[in-house]
Structure formats: C-alpha cells, structure tokens
Chains A and B, each alone.
Chain A
C-alpha cells in the first residue's frame, strides 16, 4: 500500500476510533499520518476570519478550535453524547465558552435553526456517515441557514472519479470495512457525488480539491448573495 493511500485507513476505521472520544483526534491523526489534521487546517483556512460558523458533526471540537484561532465564533453539534461531553470538556479546559458552543443533536435538528444565521458552515468526515435522505436534508437546511453570500465547506471521503481508482479503493476498503462493521456495526460510505448534491441543494461550487488518490475531497460552495441573479 502506498503512503498516499494510508489516510484511507483512518476514514474506514473512523467508526471504531469514535468509540473512544478522548483519544479520537489523536488516533485519527496517527492513523492518517497527519492527513486529517491538515485537512482540518485546510477547511479552517477557507473560513473568513471573524465569521459566525456552524460546525456540523463537531466531534470533540478540534476543527472548531482551529477556526476560533481565526477569531471565528463557532456553534457545533454532534449526534454522539460522548463526543459532546469531550467538546464540553475542551470548552472548559481551554476557556472557549464565549466562542464555542456544542450541543447534542443530529442533522435532523437543523430545521430548528433560524434562516440566514451563519456566515459559514463546515463539516469534516460527517456526510459519509449519513444516509441519502439525511444528506439531502442537511444540505437543504445548510442552504437555508446560511446568510446570503455565505460559504459551506465539506471535507469527506469520496468515490474516485476514474474506474481504476474506484476499483482500487474498493479492494483496499473491503477488508477494513468488514473489520469496522464487526467491531463498530456502523460504517462510513464514500460519497459518490458530493459536489452534485451540494449544487442540487442550491449552492454554487466555487472550489473542489481532491487528494489522496482521489479518495478525499474538500468542496467549497457559496450561497448566492443578496441581489445576485
């Protein structure tokens, strides 16, 4: 297996690593040889400093912390009570109470957020855990709660665009998928058409960066500004 492919291990094993939130970030970084950390940095750098941001599936708040360093205020949510507990611990120990809040809901709870609230919405390795309906719903809600001209940045595991790479990804993934399924029951699914899904929800794709053998993508979408056609 080439070094370029190694990050794939961490995505597939994510559901296992999630079982221990206290060590989740550290183990994800280790399993991905730092790729996950760099991907979070790349996402944070896309957010305009000083923005009001929603972090979908905030986990322990690692990505939120990076955005707070850029003077952003972050609201996060995650479905996992254990992850939210870890995030709350971070808020307390790192004195982030005024800049970061985390609550335990799933994407279905996004309909309770007021329209045009956020300047930016970010999500890292979450959409590959959602089913088709949840993904569509989350993107439609994201479009609704973004302010005009706001951006949405999604970084996640994706299906490669070429046939050979798709086959290679499947071969590498299959045994890892089986192990994850047995240990954690839950699994992640690489996204087949994330940019298309985002476009269908009404955002304009402004940037797409694919990496690691085309198996990981960061996609930036923008909601139309006021008065824009």
Chain B
C-alpha cells in the first residue's frame, strides 16, 4: 500500500521529494563480475530502473539525493560526488565484486565530479545512457553507447510524465483557490487547465520558440486570435467558450514557465526570472548568484580554451544536448553552443578547466 502511494506521489508531485532507502540492491542474480549501476533515491526512479533491468543480473547502488530525481537533484547539487562516494564505500559493494567500474547516469553529471569519485574510491567511472530504457542494450554491447543514447530527447511520453509530476501541484493549488474563492468557475478551470496542459505538453516540441515561456506566449497569441475571430464573428458559442479560453490563456504561461526547468532539453525560465526579481532561494535551493543562473541570465558566458583540453571526452559524454563533440585532433570541439541549457555538466567534469563560465 505504501509503495503504491509513493508511486502516485512520485507521479503527481515530482516537485516534492519522495525518498527510498539508500544502499545496495540486487537485480536478478548478480555475481562478482556483474555491472554496478548507480542512481538517485527518488522512489519512482528506482522502481522504473528495476522494471527496465528485469531479466539482467546487475548491482544497483541507490545513492542519497534527498528523494529527488537525478536531473533535479544533480542541478541542485543534492545528488553529488559525496552521495556517490558514500554509497560506494559504505554499502559493502566492494566486498561483493571483483571489478571496479561504476556506471553513472549522465543527467547526474552537473552534481557528480567523476574525477573526484575516481580519486576518492579508486573506481573507474563510466557515464551510461541518458535513458534507462537504453541500459540493457548498453550493457549487452559492453558499455558502448551510440549518439542517440547520449542525447536527451524529451519526447511525448517524457513530456507528459515529467509535466504531470511538476504541473499537477500547480493545477491542484489553482483548483483549491477556485474551490474557496470562485466555485462558479471551478469546472471551467478544471477543464481548461487540464486541456491546456495536454495540448501544450503534447505539442510543445512543434510549437515555435526555444524556451518554454516563448512557446507559451506563442500559444497564447494563437488563442487570442481565435478569441478575436469568435468575438468578431459573433459566434453563438462565444459566451460559453469565453471563460475556458481566458483560463487557458492564464494557465499556459504558467506551464510554459515551469517547462524549461523540467525539460533537460530546454533552458530554465523560472530560476533566472526569480533571481532577477531578487528572490534568491526557495527553501535551501539557492539559485541567485549560482553559475547556472548567471549563465541563463547572460551574466556569464561558456568559454572554451582548446589548448588546455586533454581529450578526456568527458564533456562530449555528459552533454545531453550535443553541445560538445570530439575533433580529429582528439580535442573537444564546441559545435552547438546555442543548444546549451546551462546545466553545468561539462563545467563540472572538465578537469583542466578548459571549459569555463566566465563573467561577461
């Protein structure tokens, strides 16, 4: 029962932590040579990983991330070098296996310094595929990844999944507000809010604009146009449709503002916006003055000094956007700077500091 409730919580309230026990899990019948994977202690992530890995013999290390998913916890530095080193050393895994190779989730790269993990544990670190679904093939192919496995896609199922978990609490808060202060519009809000979510999240890949909020404003502009046409043409249904359309107009920018923060393919809008308003932190999640927020607000710029590059490939391995690739001279090449979402993964992994975020 608790497990089901935690799954529902994880699905609908992704913004809030949902921790599961930290430590070692056996998947199948792992032996001394079986692969060792690591993940966060967000309950839903662990359950999904176990489902994907069914049929394989794997050691799974669940590291502390304060019950938050890999991407968000790494961004907030809750899923970090210490979490990984701690679980490797304290879980007892070292007594159960003969090799010393650890597979980390690349979306955890903004929080985990692989070089530090290597030096503190003596383990070799590999960055696995972005999506859990690709792990079985990655393991079968002897830790080989194709380009597709390195990239975040943010396809429809992921958009609906992460969108539901992040936007449902906002939707619910709005519903409670209408229940208390405007019960006559509650039904309209529930329908318009839900439809706006489904339409916006389903179509957002095709909506013009590179940021969530830009996409939202585009959809709002289309909605305003529809409203004007209906009003001018004296459409007989306009009086019934008007409240739905107005509520959708309000909700879409709210979803749009949130979208950037939860998609690993888009720049965050909310944190830099709040930082500009002078709101520096929510709880213990600070964003004002952080490298990420300053990159997003244009106070810093991503720079690369090829002379310092040692050709370790880390940046190309961890960037979910394909911003980096390896050149023929075995040095990193900044190929798609515009796609950078300021996640800091390359900055954290670049040992010689060839990649930096310098103040503009």
Contacts and interface: CB of A to CB of B under 8 A. Distances in A.
B92 A133 contact: yes
A133 B284 contact: no
Nearest to A109: B120
A108 B78 CA distance: 17
B276 interface: no
A61 to B, nearest CB: 21
Interface of A: 19, 79, 106-109, 111, 131-134, 136-137, 181-186
A133 B22 contact: yes
Interface stretch (B81-89, B204-212, B334-342): B81-89
Contact of A136 (B17, B78, B90): B90
Given A108-B85, A132-B23, A133-B22, A182 B90 contact: no
Contacts of A109: 120
B64 A131 contact: yes
B17 A133 contact: no
Contact of B89 (A108, A181, A182): A108
Contacts of B85: 106, 108
B66 interface: yes
B284 A19 contact: yes
Size class of the contact patch on chain B? 20 to 34
Question: What are the nearest 5 A-B pairs in CB distance?
Answer: A137-B90, A133-B90, A108-B89, A108-B86, A131-B22
Contacts of A181: 17
Contact of B283 (A106, A133, A137, A185): A185
A107 B87 CA distance: 11
A108 B90 contact: yes
Interface string B281-319: 001110000000000000000000000000000000000
Contacts of B64: 131
Contacts, number: 49
B87 A133 contact: yes
Contact of A131 (B17, B23, B82, B120): B23
B91 interface: yes
Contacts of B284: 19, 183-186
A131 B23 CA distance: 9
Given A133-B92, A186-B284, 13 more contacts: A106-B85, A108-B86, A111-B89, A131-B23, A134-B90, A136-B90, A181-B17, A182-B283, A183-B283, A184-B283, A184-B284, A185-B283, A186-B66
A interface majority secondary structure = helix
Choose among B23, B85, B90, B283 the residue with the greatest number of A CB atoms under 10 Å from its CB. B90
A133 B23 CA distance: 7
A223 B66 CA distance: 34
A134 B22 CA distance: 10
B321 to A, nearest CB: 28
7 contacts: A108-B89, A108-B90, A131-B64, A132-B22, A133-B87, A133-B92, A137-B89
A106 B285 CA distance: 21
B194 to A, nearest CB: 27
Nearest to A140: B90
A184 B283 CA distance: 6
A185 B66 contact: yes
B214 to A, nearest CB: 31
A106 B284 CA distance: 20
Contacts of B78: 185
Nearest to B65: A185
B282 to A, nearest CB: 10
Nearest to A181: B17
A136 B89 CA distance: 11
A185 B17 contact: yes
Contacts of A134: 86, 90
A186 B73 CA distance: 13
A126 B86 CA distance: 15
A127 B121 CA distance: 22
Contacts of B283: 182-185
Nearest to A134: B90
Contacts of B120: 109
A140 to B, nearest CB: 9
A137 B95 CA distance: 13
A108 B92 CA distance: 12
Contacts of B22: 131-133
A125 to B, nearest CB: 18
Contacts of B91: 133
Nearest to A18: B284
Interface in B59-113: 64, 66, 68, 78, 82, 85-87, 89-92
Contacts of B82: 79, 106, 108
A195 B17 CA distance: 31
Nearest to B22: A131
B19 to A, nearest CB: 9
B210 to A, nearest CB: 31
B60 to A, nearest CB: 14
